[in-house]
Amino acid sequence: MDLSFTPEEESFRDEVRSFFRDKLPARLSTLVREGKRLRKADMEEWHAILNERGWLANHWPGQWGGPGWSVIQRFIFDNESALAHAPRVVPFGVNMLGPVLIKYGSEEQKKHWLPRILDGSDWWCQGYSEPGAGSDLAGLKTTAVRNGDVYVVNGQKTWTTLGQHADMIFCLVRTDATAKKQEGISFLLIDMKSPGIEVRPITLIDGEQEVNEVFFTDVEVPVANLVGEENMGWTYAKYLLTYERTNIAGVGFSIASFERLKEVAQSQKKGGRALADDPLFAARMARVEIDLANMQTTNLRVLAAVAGGGAPGAESSMLKIKGTEIRQEITALTRRAYGSYAAPYIPEALEAGWNGEDVGPEDAAMAAPSYFNNRKLSIFGGSNEIQKNIISKAILGL
């Protein structure tokens, strides 16, 4: 199998590299490289720069504003983006809702919502999980009862990432309580400013407000905001999740953070020699490097399979498991590499411009928060145990 890029792909990579060199603000790439917190305005700034270049929704069809790239071009772009320490595109509108609307939305919905995702008019969040309905998502209880031209929504969502910034939430709601649980679910687009919505923050171990609870009390939602058909939401929900999982794999991110780990392991000394030369540490690093190389190939295979416009299937579960294991192992090794320097927890160090007392090498203060924060990777988007169940059914036929 020839995995080298063609001359055209090489020149595309050069074009992408010069774009990052010229257009990615140094302030943003420094924040990302140093593991600092990004504000809403930072994320919006990068979103706008990508959109202006026409490279924001790079997997959407040209008709709706995509650049018409091949899967290889997308792969190259994602890798270069991570290597340049560009902020991650907030995925909810561009990567999750966009593909669902393009496949299942009405023409009116596409014309209304897709341009607003691109120009950043609407910040979206994801209303899937509920207390008691995470892995068993089809057990969700939030109801939407039709009353003339509106649905009246009551219930609660939880773990809603960045919901505190959101203008809109796409929600799975129960529209038929009598049907089999997967068959009574619908996919609704809800304005976060609607009367009856309350957002409560969940503060994480690193002090960050990354996730929220969202409560709905008699919230009226226009029937025009139903995507596709009533009670068919489970089909759309699953389609969206395959995109979510493929994105969580984060190969480019792993490549960039592994490069950094190699530098740290070279610079840290143990008993007079570089940590990178310690056989046990070197063996763990070698395993990650091999897994990462395999992961890149698998990612390309999955992308090639969707080149014809199809959706990634259960293969996205494979990518999710392996990709998140690699990402977690890299953060674990980085934390170990910094040793005692990674021990003090300094919340202020996560803020841009922190200039406090030095505790070891430059980014050591971020090693522990990054390690703990990334435990989430094997939970969200469907936990890794659930992905194994999916693989055993869909791929192994068990």
Residue 360 burial by Cβ neighbours in a 10 Å radius (0-12, 13-18, 19+): middle
Q: Is 87 in the site for ligand FAD (CB under 6 A)?
A: no
Q: Is 129 in the site for ligand FAD (CB under 6 A)?
A: yes
The DSSP secondary structure of 9-38, one letter per residue, reads HHHHHHHHHHHHHHHS-HHHHHHHHTTPPP
Of 134, 184, 228, 233, the one binding ligand FAD (CB under 6 A) is 134
Q: Is 161 in the site for ligand FAD (CB under 6 A)?
A: yes
- Give the containing element (helix H, strand E) for 199: strand 197-202
C-beta closer to ligand FAD: residue 39 or 375: 375
Nearest residue (beta carbon) to ligand FAD = 134
Of 31, 366, 386, 390, the one binding ligand FAD (CB under 6 A) is 386
- DSSP percent split of the chain into helix, strand, coil, nearest 5: 55, 15, 30
Give min distance, CB of 115 to ligand FAD, in A.
23
Give min distance, CB of 243 to ligand FAD, in A.
14
Binding to ligand FAD in span 135-154, by CB under 6 A? 135
Give me the residue label for tokens 């595309």: 12
C-beta closer to ligand FAD: residue 172 or 265: 172
Binding to ligand FAD in span 21-80, by CB under 6 A? none
For residue 320, give the 3-state DSSP assignment.
Answer: helix
**Applying CB under 6 A, which part among 7-15, 174-182, 285-293, 372-380 lies near ligand FAD?**
372-380
C-beta closer to ligand FAD: residue 136 or 218: 136
Q: Is 14 in the site for ligand FAD (CB under 6 A)?
A: no
156 closest CA partner among 131, 182, 181, 125: 131
155 closest CA partner among 166, 147, 145: 145
C-beta closer to ligand FAD: residue 241 or 306: 241
Structure letter (DSSP) for residue 130: B
Give min distance, CB of 165 to ligand FAD, in A.
12
- What sign does the CA torsion over 263, 86, 15, 69 have? positive
Q: Is 236 in the site for ligand FAD (CB under 6 A)?
A: no
| Burial per residue of 160-193, b for 16 or more beta-carbon CB atoms within 10 angstroms, e otherwise | bbbbbbbebbbbbbbbeeeeebeebbbbbbbbbe
Task: Please say if 210 is a catalytic residue.
Answer: no
**Applying CB under 6 A, which part among 159-167, 181-189, 228-236, 296-304 lies near ligand FAD?**
159-167
Convert residues 188-227 into a mask of x (bound to ligand FAD by CB under 6 A) and - (unbound).
-----------------------x----------------
C-beta closer to ligand FAD: residue 149 or 385: 385
Q: Is 182 in the site for ligand FAD (CB under 6 A)?
A: no
Of 159, 170, 234, 253, the one binding ligand FAD (CB under 6 A) is 159
Whether 156 and 131 have beta carbons less than 8 Å apart is answered as yes
Q: Is 380 in the site for ligand FAD (CB under 6 A)?
A: yes
Alpha-carbon 203 to chain mean position: 19
C-beta closer to ligand FAD: residue 154 or 161: 161
Q: Is 160 in the site for ligand FAD (CB under 6 A)?
A: yes
Of 196, 351, 385, 393, the one binding ligand FAD (CB under 6 A) is 385
- The number of residues that bind ligand FAD (CB under 6 A) is 18
Whether 243 and 312 have beta carbons less than 8 Å apart is answered as yes
151 closest CA partner among 118, 131, 174, 117: 174
For residue 211, give the 3-state DSSP assignment.
Answer: strand
| Cα–Cα distance measured from residue 78 to residue 53, given in angstroms and rounded to the nearest whole number | 15
Give min distance, CB of 140 to ligand FAD, in A.
9
The DSSP secondary structure of 158-181, one letter per residue, reads -S-TTGGG-SEEEEEEES-SSS-G
The DSSP secondary structure of 347-375, one letter per residue, reads GGGGSTT------SSTTHHHHHHHHHHGG
Q: Which residues participate in catalysis according to the annotation?
A: 244
Residues that bind ligand FAD (CB under 6 A): 126-129, 134-135, 159-161, 211, 376, 379-380, 382-383, 385-386, 389
